[in-house]
Amino acid sequence: MPTLTQDGPLWTLDLGDDENRFSPGFLDETIDALRGLAAGSEPAALVTTGSGKFFSNGLDLDWLGAHPDELGPYVARIQELFDVVLTLPVPTVAAVNGHAFGGGAMLAMAHDWRVMREDRGYVCFPEVDILIPFTEGMNALVMAKLSPRTAVDAMTTGRRFGGAEALAAGIVDATSPLDDLAATAAGLVRDLAGKDRTTLGTIKSRMFAPVSAALREA
């Protein structure tokens, strides 16, 4: 399960050491932790990462298969997580330590910046191959963060992007060896931790207003 820890102004959300799929418990704990961070007033910046082979494999398809009648509320809760990250009033960076598939890739997209392990792991939107179309909110999120060319390549093909390919396509902003991943990600946001929360939150909310609205309409 995810944990949120603090080191001075730098907060680290560790998604866990397994596939870090979005079970209801995972969603509850992550959203509650991030809302708690958002409610503070001290200088802060967020690094989100995993501690195993995966950043996140996204939807918990086993749970969903056992609870098909809860699809609507489940998707709404996932989109709430994306919206919370997207509009968090502090600088955010995803340190993509391993595979980021589907909803896991979208969670990375919701951050302000992304750093990816250079030698292993893929970013992939497999929806076209697993017969799950993007919701309007998820579509809007990915389209807001990628160029039109990259969005077509990523969203309509199910292509797996390794670190170098993801960097060249603009999916991530930097790559790093695993041993330096956390430090590289922290370096992108640590000096921005003092930005005024009210101002930054308003800028993000207005910048991504159409995306946020679409995510909230689940």
What is the rounded distance in angstroms from the CA atom of residue 111 to the CA atom of residue 188? Answer: 12
User: Is residue 91 classed exposed, middle or buried when 0-12, 13-18 and 19+ CB atoms within 10 A define those classes?
Assistant: buried
**Assigned token pair, 217:** 């309409």
CA dihedral over 79, 213, 49, 149, signed as positive or negative: positive
What is the rounded distance in angstroms from the CA atom of residue 146 to the CA atom of residue 44? Answer: 26
φ and ψ of 162, to 5 deg: -75, 180
**Assigned token pair, 189:** 């946001």
Q: What tens-digit pLDDT sequence spans the chain (218 residues)?
A: 899 999 999 999 999 999 999 999 999 999 999 999 999 999 999 999 999 999 999 999 999 999 999 999 999 999 999 999 999 999 999 999 999 999 999 999 999 999 999 999 999 999 999 999 999 999 999 999 999 999 999 999 999 999 999 999 999 999 999 999 999 999 999 999 999 999 999 999 999 999 999 999 97
pTM equals 0.98
